[in-house]
Amino acid sequence: MKKFLSVLICLFICQNISFGFVKNEKAKVYQPEQYQEITDRANAFYAQNDIKNAEELLLTIPEVKRTPQNWLILGNILADKGKTNEAEFMYRKALNFDNTFYKAHYNLGVLYLAQDKPNMAITELKEVTKLKPDYAYGHYNLGCAYLKTGKISKAKFEFFLATDYNKSEPDFYYNLAYVYKKLNKEKTAKEYLDLYNKLAEKEYVQGNNF
């Protein structure tokens, strides 16, 4: 089924704040073996979507012994529960330990984007694109934030960068179609919308043939 160019679509990441998680190699906090074992178990539960056990385990680690990754996952869990203020606090704690931890900047930016705070989202997502320039979803969400502030040209630039790093994500092309629609370039908008539909259909077929 085709989509029409009527609304801004930024849902792919905004609904998936806990999209993946980063390994602990950048953590600046030494974690004794006993807490590392808890972290490993919590990560395993989290990967299996067993949020309850993951959270309970992470909360047994003293705050001073938590890694940025620990804080990140706690933030993701709280965000999934709709506790946005608490989630923001956890992401900030992660960044207090390691301000180069791009995933915390990213999740914080997406959190602000979901709360309709685009300027705050832009600040965080620009950090993501500096720290990890090839992270397609960082560029995509930065483009979404620029769209929300009416900065069409900047949004277009970020969407193009997103497609440079990931050519198979349908939503990237949908938002490019939206941008060209806003610029009254109907032909180009249709080309990107057709590409979106082609990729979305392919994705649907693959998802139903496993």
Degrees to nearest 5, angle at CA 137 with 134 and 141: 125
List, for residues 57-72, the tens digit of each pLDDT value. Answer: 999 999 999 999 999 9
Mean pLDDT of the region 130-141 = 97
Choices 3.40.190.10, 3.50.50.60, 3.30.2350.10, 1.25.40.10: CATH for 11-166:
1.25.40.10
Question: pLDDT grade, residue 29 (50/70/90)?
Answer: low
pLDDT at 28: 52
Instruction: Please state, rounded to an integer, the average pLDDT across all residues of the chain.
Output: 87
Question: pLDDT grade, residue 202 (50/70/90)?
Answer: confident
In this predicted structure, the answer to whether residue 162 has a pLDDT above a threshold of 50 is yes
In this predicted structure, the answer to whether residue 191 has a pLDDT above a threshold of 90 is yes
In this predicted structure, the answer to whether residue 16 has a pLDDT above a threshold of 90 is no
Reading phi first (left if > 0) and then psi (alpha if -120 to 50, else beta), residue 2 is in: beta
φ/ψ (deg, to 5) at 162: -60, -45
The two structure tokens encoding residue 202: 């392919």
**Which of 10-19, 27-36, 166-175 has the largest mean confidence?**
166-175
List, for residues 70-122, the tens digit of each pLDDT value. Answer: 999 999 999 999 999 999 999 999 999 999 999 999 999 999 999 999 999 99
Residue ranges per structural domain of the chain: 11-166, 167-210
pLDDT at 1: 39
Degrees to nearest 5, angle at CA 104 with 98 and 106: 135
Task: Kindly report the pTM of this predicted structure.
Answer: 0.84
pLDDT at 32: 87
Contact 107, 138 (CB under 8 A): no
Q: In Å, how far from its chain's centre is CA 194?
A: 25
Q: Distance (Å, rounded) from C-alpha 9 to C-alpha 178?
A: 9
The two structure tokens encoding residue 205: 């077929």
Half-sphere exposure of 183 (CA within 13 A, CB side): 18
